[in-house]
């Protein structure tokens, strides 16, 4: 029995802003967002595949082309294509031999949709309206778009095109990784004081990482890496790296590709929007850049073009160590609250910093190799010495220790959280007898003991700040470049223990009268190669 059909009508609007369709063998649903209606309604039922287009602020639809077929006792739209004053999008779905087209009259645009749907899209029609004008309510939008410079997308030719247009700011970027490429991106924009989000590609079980841009900062460039991978006819995006005006650099999101490009404005503008191509993975990425000196309607310089707060007076001291690895930069903040250091067999394998900004904790990104145990669990793990027999002089037996031969005890798998270790309980002996018993503890191999990597936490007091960082580095066997072997932090109150082992070279990062407010450097997949700092004057 065929599903009940329903007529729907979005009405006439100022301009079509976005169109999203879902489909399988035919179009299952359509959803349109308009400039004067930010609450789109879906018509039909969701399909397994999704595609669509987001128009730039100075772009409008002039034509719609459709393809249809008969399924059972009803007609259904099989594919849709949209033509604008700038380009062609689609077709989305599966083309057939039956085609129709709708053209806007001269000096008109397609400004709304209507149709009939059931569990599929049965028919579609449109509303026409005069071309959008630069009215006072949207003149700022059109002005920013006209000033924006569109930098070509880099990568492959697969997938379908999308275009977010120019906005006021880019606040967050989410990047999801697949097995061999970037599979998903999501952008959070700010426009006229409101948040707008767009997402493309397909989320995977690996989830997505986020790069957040500070309110007084903006993205200045994006490194795009692409490659031809198995199963794809053209190049796909394999890695993305973002850089900001304040010197903050994201970790590499993805894997290194054969081709590398840089999306950057020749006039040093700020990135205000993205465009590209995507299917189930990201095929290409381009960007919009606007002048960084743009002013608000009130004539005041915007906060993004005149960084203030934590960035004011900050100075970047050169990183020290080896030249390998990928660059990273947490940028300057108000202060440093916590430092996590992971030690591997040869050197420092991992660092993470928690900063303070506007009286709030701001966790930095992970740099280097994460371990199975979170840094906070360091104090709850058994010391490495407990997994090995510590040689010592064998005492004489006592009445509580009937034999002078070593007693070997097997400890069951460690549970989380690790209970307080009581040797007397494990040995089932009174506590006083432990000092006279030669005991060897054998840990069960059913769970990892994580003895090859140690994670340490250095916490600063509320009124404490770092004044200097001692860095030791060396060229270790098995590494092509020098690596960081030890870090030690000096504050206005104390000096931390050394995190790591002494290296052949030692350097002190310090600026008199300044405090450390951020870190940058280089890191490989499992080792730290360089560390540098951001400093700012100590307030009296």
Q: Are 195 and 116 found together in one domain? A: no
pLDDT band of residue 50 (cuts 50, 70, 90) is confident
pLDDT in tens, 496-523: 999 998 988 999 999 999 999 999 999 8
DSSP 295: B
Q: Are 489 and 368 found together in one domain? A: yes
Q: Are 217 and 97 found together in one domain? A: no
Q: Are 416 and 467 found together in one domain? A: no
pLDDT in tens, 432-456: 444 444 555 554 444 444 344 467 8
* Residue 301 and residue 293 in contact, taking contact as beta carbons nearer than 8 Å: yes
Measured from the Cβ of residue 391, the count of other Cβ atoms closer than 10 Å reads 7
My answer on whether omega of the bond before 83 falls inside 30° of 0, hence cis, is: no
How many domains would you assign to the chain?
Answer: 4
Residue range of the domain that includes 283: 139-290
Q: In this model, does residue 532 exceed pLDDT 60? A: yes
Q: Put residue 53 in one of left, alpha, beta given phi > 0 → left and psi -120 to 50 → alpha.
A: beta
* Residue 141: its H or E element: helix 139-147
Q: Are 192 and 168 found together in one domain? A: yes
Domain end (from 290, 317, 338) = 290
Q: Are 165 and 115 found together in one domain? A: no
Measure CA 257 to chain center: 18
Residue-level pLDDT at 300: 34
DSSP 376: G
pLDDT band of residue 229 (cuts 50, 70, 90) is confident
Residue with tokens 């085609």: 99
Which tokens is 243 given?
């850089």
Rounded-to-integer distance, Cα 187 and Cα 221, Å: 15
pLDDT in tens, 93-119: 999 999 999 999 999 999 999 999 999
Q: In this model, does residue 36 exceed pLDDT 90? A: no
What is the chain's mean pLDDT, rounded?
79
User: Mean per-residue pLDDT for 460-470?
Assistant: 95
Q: Are 431 and 512 found together in one domain? A: no
**Which CATH number belongs to the domain containing residue 144 in this structure?**
2.100.10.30
Rounded-to-integer distance, Cα 111 and Cα 87, Å: 17
Q: Are 347 and 488 found together in one domain? A: yes
Measure CA 335 to chain center: 23
Residue 66 resides in a domain: yes
Domain end (from 97, 130, 163) = 130
């Amino acid at each position: 029995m065929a599903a009940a059909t329903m007529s729907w009508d979005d009405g006439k609007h100022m301009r079509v802003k976005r169109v999203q369709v879902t489909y399988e063998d035919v179009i299952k649903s359509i959803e349109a967002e308009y400039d004067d209606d930010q609450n789109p309604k879906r018509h039909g039922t969701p399909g397994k595949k999704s595609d669509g287009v987001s128009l730039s602020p100075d772009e409008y639809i002039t034509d719609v082309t459709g393809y249809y077929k008969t399924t059972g006792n009803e007609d259904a739209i099989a594919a849709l294509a949209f033509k604008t004053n700038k380009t062609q999008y689609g077709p989305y779905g599966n083309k057939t031999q039956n085609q129709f087209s709708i053209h806007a009259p001269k000096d008109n645009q397609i400004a709304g949709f209507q149709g009939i749907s059931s569990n599929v899209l049965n028919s579609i029609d449109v509303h026409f309206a005069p071309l959008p004008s630069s009215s006072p309510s949207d003149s700022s939008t059109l002005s920013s778009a006209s000033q924006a410079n569109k930098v070509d997308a880099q990568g492959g030719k697969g997938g379908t095109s999308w275009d977010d247009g120019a906005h006021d700011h880019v606040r967050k970027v989410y990047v999801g990784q697949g097995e061999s490429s970037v599979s998903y991106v999501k952008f959070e924009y700010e426009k006229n004081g409101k948040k707008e989000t767009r997402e493309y590609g397909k989320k995977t079980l690996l989830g997505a990482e986020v790069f957040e841009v500070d309110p007084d900062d903006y993205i200045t460039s994006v490194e795009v890496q692409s490659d031809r991978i198995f199963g794809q006819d053209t190049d796909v995006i394999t890695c993305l790296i973002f850089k900001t005006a304040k010197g903050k650099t994201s970790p590499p999101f993805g894997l290194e590709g054969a081709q590398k490009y840089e999306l950057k404005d020749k006039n040093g503008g700020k990135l205000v929007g993205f465009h590209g191509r995507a299917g189930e993975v990201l095929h290409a990425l381009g960007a919009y850049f606007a002048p960084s000196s743009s002013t608000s309607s009130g004539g005041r310089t915007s906060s993004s073009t005149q960084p203030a707060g934590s960035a004011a007076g900050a100075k970047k001291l050169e990183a020290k160590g080896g030249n390998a690895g990928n660059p990273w930069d947490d940028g300057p903040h108000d202060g440093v609250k916590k430092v996590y250091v992971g030690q591997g067999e040869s050197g420092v394998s991992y660092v993470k910093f928690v900063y303070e900004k506007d009286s709030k904790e701001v966790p930095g990104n992970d740099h280097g190799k994460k371990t199975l145990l979170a840094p906070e669990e360091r104090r709850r793990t058994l010391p490495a010495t407990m997994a090995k027999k510590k040689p010592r002089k064998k005492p004489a037996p006592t009445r509580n220790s009937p034999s002078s031969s070593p007693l070997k005890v097997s400890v069951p798998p460690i549970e989380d959280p690790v209970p307080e270790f009581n040797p007397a309980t494990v040995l089932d002996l009174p506590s006083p007898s432990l000092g006279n018993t030669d005991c060897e503890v054998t840990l069960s191999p059913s769970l990892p003991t994580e003895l090859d990597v140690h994670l340490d936490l250095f916490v600063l007091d509320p009124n404490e700040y770092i004044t200097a960082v001692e860095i030791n580095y060396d060229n270790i066997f098995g590494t092509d470049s020098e690596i960081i072997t030890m870090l030690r932090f000096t504050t206005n109150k104390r000096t931390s223990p050394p995190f790591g082992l002494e290296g052949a070279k030692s350097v002190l990062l310090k600026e008199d009268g300044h405090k450390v407010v951020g870190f940058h450097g280089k890191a490989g997949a499992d080792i730290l190669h360089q560390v540098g700092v951001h400093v700012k004057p100590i307030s009296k």
